[in-house]
Structure 1
Amino acid sequence: MGIFQEFRQFMMRGSAIDMGIGVVLGAALSSFVDSLVRDILLPPIGLVYSRMNIENLHISLSGRTYSSLAEAKEAGAITINYGLFISTSIRFLIILFVVFLVVRQMNRWKKPHQHPSDSMTNKECPYCCLSIPNRAVICPNCSSSLEKKQSAERTTYPRLKIK
Structure 2
Amino acid sequence: MGLFKEFRQFMMRGSAIDIGIGVVLGAAVSSFVDSLVRDILLPPIGLVYSRMNIENLHISLSGRTYSSLADAKEAGAITINYGLFISTSIRFVIILFIVFLVVRQMNRWKKPHQHPLDSMTKKECPYCCLSIPNRAVICPNCSSSLEKKQSAESTTYPRLKIK
Q: Which category describes the TM-score, using the shorter chain as reference length?
A: 0.7 to 0.9
Greater Rg, structure 1 or structure 2?
1
Question: RMSD of the TM alignment (CA)?
Answer: 5.7
Deviation at 1:115, TM superposition (A): 3.2
TM-score normalized by the length of structure 1: 0.80
Q: Percent identity?
A: 94
Mapped to 2, the partners of 1:150 and 1:89 lie a distance apart of 50
Could you tell me which residue of structure 2 aligns to residue 38 of structure 1? 38
* Number of matched pairs: 163
Mapped to 2, the partners of 1:71 and 1:125 lie a distance apart of 69
Mapped to 2, the partners of 1:59 and 1:124 lie a distance apart of 58
Deviation at 1:45, TM superposition (A): 1.2
User: Matched residue of 1:123: which SS?
Assistant: strand
Deviation at 1:141, TM superposition (A): 3.9
Deviation at 1:130, TM superposition (A): 5.3
Could you tell me which residue of structure 1 aligns to residue 92 of structure 2? 92
Mapped to 2, the partners of 1:126 and 1:98 lie a distance apart of 42
1:127 aligns with 2:127: yes
Contact 2:55–2:84 (8 Å) recurs in 1: yes
Deviation at 1:127, TM superposition (A): 2.8
Deviation at 1:134, TM superposition (A): 4.0
- Which digits, 9 at most, give the CA deviation of each residue in 1:31-81, with x for residues without a partner? 011011111111111112111111000011111111111111111111111
Structure 1 stretch 20-29 or stretch 132-141: which is displaced more?
Answer: 132-141
Q: 1:143 to 1:51 in 2, by over 3 A?
A: same
Equivalent residues in 2 for 1:128-147, closer than 5 Å:
128=128, 132-147=132-147
